[in-house]
Amino acid sequence: MTDHPPLSDRDRALLALERRSWAGPGAKERAIREELGMSPVRYYQLLNALIEDVRALEEDPVTVNRLRAVRAARRARR
């Protein structure tokens, strides 16, 4: 266990939403607006910062490492 403060409820909600699979186009964006009360742009801004947080990695290493790999692949294609 580390001495970091725990993740906020919002940060946990971001990770939980990112773990889910989505049926079709627009479903994830609707869930972001309805469940988290924010725009998809803000969601992705927060998510990108969150996956750099060691606490997020400790909380959900599978999701965080997957998101880091996706981001790295996108950057490599540029």
Tens of pLDDT along the chain (78 residues) come to 557 889 999 999 999 999 999 988 899 999 999 999 999 999 999 999 999 999 999 999 999 999 999 999 998 988
Give the span between the Cα atoms of 10 and 7, in whole angstroms.
8
Give the span between the Cα atoms of 71 and 37, in whole angstroms.
24
Give the span between the Cα atoms of 11 and 45, in whole angstroms.
12
Reported pTM:
0.87
Give the span between the Cα atoms of 10 and 35, in whole angstroms.
11
pLDDT given for residue 2 in this prediction: 58
* Sign of the torsion angle spanned by Cα atoms 13, 17, 19, 20: positive
Q: What is the DSSP letter of 39?
A: -
